[in-house]
C-alpha cells in the first residue's frame, strides 16, 4: 500500500518594510567602526529621530563635523555633510550659514575637537550668536587617538597621559557655552534617550547659537582606566549619579568626582542672530548711503576672467584700505566677484604691508595671487619683494619719489611712475597718497569703472574726509590719463 506523505512548505521570510531611520543613513558606510559600548550610536539615533520629527526640509540640513570618533557622524548620515579638519568644524559651519542662510546647520563633533583645538572658534561663534546647533559628544578623552587627557577630563581621572590622575581643572561646557552667549544650552547623557531627542528637537526649532552636551561612554579609551570597562557600566553610573535640574545656573553644573552629574536644560532665551544684526545694519546703511547697485550694466563692462592686484607699502600708508576700496568697487558697485587678503607686520606703522585683491566675473575658487596682473608699490621693500611676481603683460605702478625700480621688472611688464605722495602733499594731506594711487590705477586700467571707485571711496573713508579723498582720486586720475 502506497503511503502519501504531505509536507508543508514554510513561506519565505520577506522584509518588506525598512526601518524609518534607514533613509537617513549611508548604508554603504555601515557597519560603523565605533567600539562596542560607545555612546555615539545612541547619540546619532537621537539626532536622526529628532530630525525626522522636526518637519525640516532635509535637503536644507547640513551636518558638519571635525576629527575624532564623533566626526564619523558626517560620513554616516545621508544628508549634505562636511567632514572638516581638526578643530575647524565651527568655522566651516559659519561659512555655510553665511553663504546660504536658508540652511539648517548642525555641528556634530566631540569634546576634543570642539573644545580643545576648536575652543576659540566655539566661544566666538557663541558670542556672535551664529545660527547653528552644536552637539558635542563628551566622552572625557581623546578616544580615537589613544585615550589621552582632554579639556573635559575630570580631575583625578586616569588616561594614557595622566596615569597618576588628572590635575588640570576641566571645562564646564554648559557654563562655557552660556557665558559665551549661547541662546540654548542643555546637557543629557546617552541614558536619557527620550530627553536628549526632545532637546535636539527643541533646539532645531530655535534660532541662534544652540549647544547640547551629550555625556557618552568610551569604554576603550576612558572606561577601562576608570572602572567602566563596558558601556553598561557607564549607563549604570549615569542612572545612579545623574540628577535633572532644569534652569539652574550652569556654573553649578560642573562635573566633579564624587558629585552628581547635573543634566537638564539650563538656558533658553531669544536674541538677534549675527545675520539678523547684519541685515539691520545694512538697512541703516542703505538709507544713509547711495543705493548699492552696479555703476554700469554688465553688458557694457569688459568681461574679465581673473585680475590679480597687489598693493604693497608700509604700515600707515593706507595699503589695506586701498585694497579694501578696490575690492568693494569691483564687487558692490561693478557687480563682479572679488576677494581680499591682507598682511602686515607687527608694527602699527612702518612695517611691511600688503593687500591682495582678486577680481573676476567667474567664481573665485583660489583667493591668492598666482601671477600678479597689477603691482602698486609705495615702498622700496615692497617692490623688492613682489616685483618678480608680475606676469607678462602686467602693469607695475610705483610712487616715483619712494621707489626705485631696482631690480627691474620682468620682461613684458609695463612700468608706470606717479608722484602720488607729492600730489597728496599738494592737497595738504600726505595720508591720501593711497587714494591718488587708486585714481591713477582707474585711469590706466579698465577692469573697474571710475564711478565704482568713486562710490567705494565715498562710502569707505572717514566721515568728513569724503571731499578730500575724492579730490585725491581725481588728481591721480588726471596723472593716469597722461600715461594711458
CATH number (domain holding residue 454)? 3.40.920.10
The CATH number for 213's domain is 3.40.50.970
| Residue 247 maps to a domain | yes
User: pLDDT digits over 16-57, tens only?
Assistant: 577 888 888 998 888 898 999 999 999 999 999 999 999 999
| pLDDT digits 0-9 by tens, 254-271 | 998 878 999 999 999 999
Instruction: Say whether both 247 and 304 belong to one domain.
Output: no
Based on the fold, state whether residues 209 and 300 are members of the same structural domain: no
Share of the chain above pLDDT 70, in %: 91
CA–CA dist 201, 50 (Å, integer): 5
Q: Is the pLDDT of residue 316 over 80?
A: yes
If one compares 9 and 205, the residue with the highest pLDDT of the two is 205
How high is the pLDDT of residue 328? 96
Question: Based on the structure, what is the number of domains in the chain?
Answer: 2
Is residue 103 domain-shared with residue 52, that is, in the same domain? yes
Residue 285, domain member (yes or no): no
DSSP conformational letter for 410: P
Question: In this structure, is residue 6 part of a structural domain?
Answer: no
Q: Which of 220, 242, 274 corresponds to the end of one domain?
A: 274
Domain hosting residue 184, numbered range = 20-274
Task: Judge whether residue 367 has pLDDT over 80.
Answer: yes
**Whether residue 241 sits in one domain with residue 173:** yes
- Same domain (yes/no): 250, 374: no
Last residue of a domain, one of 219, 240, 274: 274
| pLDDT tens digits for range 266-303 | 999 999 999 999 888 766 554 444 444 555 555 456 78
- Per the CB < 8 A criterion, the answer to whether 234 and 215 are in contact is no
Q: In 3D, which of 93, 88, 74 has the Cα closest to residue 117?
A: 88
The pLDDT assigned to 118 comes to 94
Residue 2 clears pLDDT 80, i.e. is over it = no
Computed over every residue of the chain, the mean pLDDT equals: 90
Regarding whether 357 and 258 lie in a shared domain, the answer is no
Residue 187 lies in a domain: yes
Assess whether 265 and 388 both reside in one domain.
Answer: no
**483 confidence band (pLDDT: 50, 70, 90):** confident
Task: Clarify whether residues 333 and 469 are in a common domain.
Answer: yes
pLDDT at 102: 93
Q: What is the pLDDT of residues 389-430, one digit of tens each?
A: 998 899 999 999 999 999 999 999 999 999 999 999 999 999
Describe the strand order of the beta sheet including 372-377 as a list of residue ranges.
Answer: 337-344, 352-360, 307-314, 372-377, 390-399, 414-418
Same domain for 302 and 270: no
Amino acid at each position: 500500500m502506497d503511503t502519501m506523505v504531505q509536507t508543508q512548505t514554510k513561506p519565505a521570510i520577506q522584509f518588506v518594510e525598512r526601518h524609518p531611520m534607514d533613509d537617513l543613513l549611508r548604508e554603504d558606510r555601515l557597519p560603523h567602526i565605533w567600539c562596542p559600548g560607545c555612546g555615539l550610536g545612541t547619540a546619532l539615533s537621537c539626532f536622526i529621530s529628532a530630525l525626522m520629527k522636526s518637519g525640516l526640509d532635509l535637503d536644507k540640513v547640513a551636518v558638519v563635523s571635525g576629527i575624532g570618533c564623533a566626526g564619523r557622524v558626517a560620513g554616516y548620515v545621508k544628508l549634505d555633510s562636511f567632514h572638516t579638519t581638526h578643530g575647524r568644524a565651527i568655522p566651516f559651519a559659519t561659512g555655510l550659514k553665511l553663504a546660504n542662510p536658508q540652511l539648517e546647520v548642525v555641528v556634530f563633533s566631540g569634546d576634543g575637537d570642539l573644545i580643545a583645538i576648536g575652543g576659540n572658534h566655539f566661544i566666538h561663534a557663541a558670542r556672535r550668536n551664529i545660527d547653528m546647533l552644536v552637539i558635542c559628544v563628551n566622552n572625557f578623552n581623546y578616544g580615537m587617538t589613544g585615550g589621552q587627557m582632554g579639556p573635559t577630563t575630570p580631575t583625578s581621572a586616569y588616561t594614557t597621559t595622566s596615569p597618576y590622575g588628572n590635575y588640570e581643572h576641566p571645562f564646564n561646557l554648559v557654563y562655557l557655552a552660556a557665558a559665551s552667549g549661547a541662546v540654548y544650552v542643555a546637557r543629557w547623557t546617552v541614558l536619557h534617550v527620550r530627553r536628549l531627542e526632545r532637546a535636539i528637537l527643541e533646539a532645531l526649532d530655535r534660532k541662534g547659537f544652540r549647544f547640547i552636551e551629550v555625556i557618552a561612554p568610551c569604554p576603550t579609551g576612558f572606561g577601562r582606566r576608570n572602572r567602566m570597562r563596558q558601556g553598561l557600566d557607564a549607563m549604570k553610573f549615569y542612572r545612579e549619579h545623574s540628577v535633572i535640574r532644569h534652569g539652574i545656573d550652569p556654573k553649578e553644573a560642573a562635573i566633579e568626582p564624587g558629585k552628581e552629574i547635573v543634566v537638564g536644560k539650563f538656558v533658553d532665551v531669544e536674541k538677534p542672530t549675527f545675520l539678523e544684526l547684519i541685515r539691520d545694519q545694512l538697512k541703516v546703511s542703505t538709507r544713509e548711503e547711495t543705493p548699492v547697485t552696479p555703476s554700469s550694466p554688465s553688458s557694457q563692462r569688459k568681461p574679465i576672467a581673473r585680475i590679480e592686484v597687489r598693493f604693497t607699502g608700509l604700515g600707515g600708508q593706507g595699503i589695506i584700505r586701498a585694497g579694501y576700496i578696490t575690492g568693494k568697487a569691483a564687487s558692490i558697485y561693478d557687480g563682479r566677484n572679488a576677494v581680499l587678503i591682507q598682511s602686515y607686520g607687527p608694527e602699527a606703522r612702518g612695517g611691511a604691508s600688503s593687500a591682495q585683491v582678486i577680481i573676476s566675473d567667474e567664481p573665485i575658487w583660489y583667493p591668492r595671487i598666482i601671477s600678479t596682473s597689477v603691482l602698486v608699490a609705495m615702498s622700496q621693500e615692497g617692490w623688492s619683494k613682489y616685483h618678480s611676481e608680475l606676469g607678462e603683460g602686467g602693469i607695475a605702478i610705483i610712487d616715483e619719489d619712494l621707489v626705485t625700480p631696482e631690480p627691474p621688472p620682468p620682461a613684458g611688464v609695463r612700468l608706470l611712475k606717479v608722484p602720488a605722495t607729492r600730489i597728496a602733499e599738494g592737497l595738504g594731506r600726505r595720508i591720501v597718497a593711497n587714494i591718488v594711487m587708486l585714481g591713477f590705477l582707474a585711469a590706466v586700467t579698465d577692469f573697474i569703472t571710475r564711478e565704482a571707485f568713486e562710490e567705494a571711496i565715498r562710502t569707505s573713508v572717514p566721515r568728513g574726509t569724503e571731499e578730500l579723498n575724492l579730490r585725491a582720486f581725481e588728481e591721480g586720475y588726471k596723472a593716469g590719463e597722461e600715461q594711458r
